[in-house]
């Protein structure tokens, strides 16, 4: 009897059986996982069209849909939201006003607006860089930085050298960088500052543990805090184009400012939770408010938003301010890819007689975003919104002025990603001095603009616009 042939047949049958069992197990596991994700999608508050899209993708192409949803499908970090509510922001309920924006934001759980603040806006990029380096030079105990983009260019290296010097002198320096925004910054370039004692962390690195957060969620905040009492913030990243110009070109038009006073404590709380999240810690450190300025100061409200905050406070503040407008709304933003709520709010404001001015770069640094905005801009023009284009100059500033009583400036663009996905922070200004400064700045910028004239778009162009808008969250 040929036992070797029998053994070969048995081995073949066992191999087939193992393969069959493995494929069946994978199919069952995939089906269970798909059903769990579908149930999660149906429980999540999202637009029906988005839910349908995810469900179809997961069911029809599970090998593609399941990994995509696990990476990009959720926009809120629930564990971090729970930690966020425990922060001692050191705000006093006596600071609450009767302003509808203040009321809405405090109802969402944010700190009320506070007085005893001084604000100094930077006139241009070089002024912003000089002030930043002066703050570093004056630091005695701590420097805490959260930044979206840090490049290894002239400005970036100048900032790193300043941080290295302060760390060597005994100042505690912490630098939090976004994993996507600063992806091009090779870790080897940071070795000198690390060896000098600078503590560097990455907010959701591109390659990370799958349970540490979504790659799609980015920390777009720009926060510099010195000795827990001085704040440098706004829209500028750490790179040449935001301060002095890239490769001999003009610096981008942007906004940043220094703030001192009670609002700094809220920024400190935001930084601490972002820093702990980057390190995987859950502990909430007790925070002490900075000493109040004795003289009466400006009323400022810190408005964070993103996956670590319940609701969408920046979005809520925008809509409330626009609905409350009586005479004028002026908006400056580098990109305009809104959701339907923002779009309808601006159209309705213009139709009821409020002057609405939207200021954009004629050509931004993101061609896809420029294509995506065209459909929205045509609709705004039809509703009598004034659209202004800054020619031959990139505008990266983010600001809004409503009548003469409220203004904002910070890191958030007027697009879906900033409003609903990114970690962002802006300041709301209620005092006449800051509102007037921002109003004058916006008007000076508008005087350099040309009116927007939409080009005629045919069926092919409209189809391309529609395809681009499918990925509107990613712009």
Q: Would you give the DSSP letter of residue 457? A: -
Closest CA to 389 of 336, 318, 338: 336
Percent of the chain with pLDDT over 90: 58
| Residue 235 sits in the same domain as residue 279 | yes
| Residue 64 sits in the same domain as residue 87 | no
**SS3 at position 360:** strand
| Residue 295 sits in the same domain as residue 322 | no
Closest CA to 135 of 71, 240, 229, 249: 229
**Tell me: the pLDDT tens digits for 65-103?**
666 666 555 555 555 545 444 444 444 444 456 889 999
Does residue 307 belong to any structural domain of this protein?
A: no
Token duo for residue 326: 């009586």
| Residue 416 sits in the same domain as residue 283 | no
Instruction: Choose one of 245, 271, 299: the last residue of a domain.
Output: 299
**SS3 at position 81:** helix
**Tell me: the pLDDT tens digits for 256-290?**
999 999 999 999 999 998 998 888 765 555 545 55
| Residue 332 sits in the same domain as residue 214 | no
**Tell me: the pLDDT tens digits for 411-453?**
999 999 899 989 999 999 999 999 999 999 999 999 999 999 9
Check: CB of residue 369 under 8 Å from CB of residue 335: yes
Say how far apart CA 128 and CA 436 lie, in whole Å: 20
Closest CA to 201 of 147, 133, 128: 147
Does residue 304 belong to any structural domain of this protein?
A: no
In this model, does residue 472 exceed pLDDT 90? no
Which of the pair, 65 or 1, is modelled with greater confidence?
A: 65
| Residue 150 sits in the same domain as residue 289 | yes
**Tell me: the pLDDT tens digits for 319-369?**
999 999 999 999 999 999 999 999 999 999 999 999 999 999 999 999 999
Closest CA to 317 of 142, 103, 59: 103
Q: What is the pLDDT of residue 465?
A: 73
| Residue 122 sits in the same domain as residue 46 | no
In this model, does residue 52 exceed pLDDT 70? no
Q: What are the two backbone dihedrals, phi and then psi, of residue 474, each rounded to the nearest 5 degrees? A: -95, -5
Number of domains in the chain: 3
Which of the pair, 183 or 219, is modelled with greater confidence?
A: 219
Provide the domain limits for residue 362. 316-474
Say how far apart CA 454 and CA 445 lie, in whole Å: 21
Q: What is the pLDDT of residue 295?
A: 52
Q: What is the pLDDT of residue 450?
A: 97
Q: What is the pLDDT of residue 89?
A: 45
| Residue 428 sits in the same domain as residue 467 | yes
Check: CB of residue 394 under 8 Å from CB of residue 252: yes
Does residue 271 belong to any structural domain of this protein?
A: yes
Does residue 58 belong to any structural domain of this protein?
A: yes
Does residue 308 belong to any structural domain of this protein?
A: no
Task: Tell me how far CA of residue 230 lies from CA of 87, 95, 224, 233, 415, in angstroms.
Answer: 20, 21, 8, 10, 29
Say how far apart CA 130 and CA 243 lie, in whole Å: 10
Let me know if 310 is exposed, middle or buried by CB neighbors in 10 A (0-12, 13-18, 19+).
middle
| Residue 59 sits in the same domain as residue 136 | no
Does residue 12 belong to any structural domain of this protein?
A: yes
Does residue 106 belong to any structural domain of this protein?
A: no
**SS3 at position 21:** helix
| Residue 470 sits in the same domain as residue 361 | yes
Q: What are the two backbone dihedrals, phi and then psi, of residue 202, each rounded to the nearest 5 degrees? A: -120, 130
The mean pLDDT value for 206-218 works out to: 60
| Residue 246 sits in the same domain as residue 334 | no
Does residue 372 belong to any structural domain of this protein?
A: yes
| Residue 362 sits in the same domain as residue 411 | yes
Q: For position 346, which CATH number holds?
A: 3.30.870.10
């Amino acid at each position: 009897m040929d036992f070797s042939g029998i053994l070969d047949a048995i081995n073949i049958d066992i191999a087939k059986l193992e393969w069959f069992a493995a494929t069946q197990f994978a199919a069952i596991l995939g089906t269970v996982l798909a059903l769990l994700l579908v149930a999660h999608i149906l429980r999540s508050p999202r637009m029906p069209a988005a839910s349908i899209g995810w469900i179809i993708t997961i069911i029809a192409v599970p090998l593609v849909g399941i990994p995509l949803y696990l990476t990009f499908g959720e926009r809120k970090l629930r564990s971090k939201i729970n930690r966020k509510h425990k922060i001692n922001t050191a705000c006093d309920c006596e600071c609450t006003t009767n302003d509808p924006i203040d009321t809405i934001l405090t109802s969402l759980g944010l700190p009320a607006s506070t007085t005893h603040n001084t604000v100094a806006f930077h006139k241009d990029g070089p002024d912003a860089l000089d002030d930043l380096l002066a703050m570093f030079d004056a630091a005695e105990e701590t420097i805490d930085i959260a930044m979206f983009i840090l490049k290894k260019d002239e400005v970036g290296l100048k900032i790193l050298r300043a941080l290295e010097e302060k760390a060597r002198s005994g100042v505690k320096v912490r630098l939090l960088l976004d994993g996507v925004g600063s992806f091009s910054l090779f870790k080897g370039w940071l070795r000198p500052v690390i060896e000098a004692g600078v503590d560097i962390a990455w907010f959701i690195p591109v390659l990370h543990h799958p349970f540490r957060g979504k790659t799609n969620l980015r920390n777009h905040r720009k926060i510099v805090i010195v000795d827990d009492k001085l704040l440098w913030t706004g829209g500028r990243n750490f790179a040449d184009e935001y301060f002095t110009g890239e490769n001999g070109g003009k610096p981008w038009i942007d906004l940043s400012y220094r703030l001192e006073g009670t609002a700094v404590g809220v920024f400190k709380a935001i930084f601490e939770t972002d820093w702990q999240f980057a390190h995987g810690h859950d502990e909430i450190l007790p925070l002490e408010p900075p000493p109040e300025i004795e003289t009466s100061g400006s009323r400022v409200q810190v408005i964070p938003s993103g996956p670590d905050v319940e609701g969408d406070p920046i979005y809520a503040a925008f809509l409330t301010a626009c609905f409350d407008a009586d005479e004028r709304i002026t908006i400056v933003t580098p990109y305009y890819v809104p959701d339907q709520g923002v779009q309808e709010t601006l159209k309705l404001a213009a139709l009821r007689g409020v002057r609405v001015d939207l200021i954009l770069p004629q050509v931004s640094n993101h061609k896809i975003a420029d294509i995506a905005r065209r459909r929205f801009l045509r609709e705004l023009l039809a509703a009598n919104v004034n659209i202004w284009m800054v020619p031959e100059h990139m505008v990266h500033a983010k600001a809004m002025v409503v009548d003469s009583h409220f203004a904002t400036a910070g890191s958030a663009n007027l697009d879906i990603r900033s409003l609903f996905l990114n970690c962002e922070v802006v300041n709301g200004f209620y005092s006449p001095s800051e509102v007037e400064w921002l109003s004058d700045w916006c008007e000076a910028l508008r005087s350099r603009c040309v009116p927007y004239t939409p080009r005629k778009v045919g069926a092919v162009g409209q189809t391309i616009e529609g395809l681009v808008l499918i990925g509107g969250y990613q712009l």
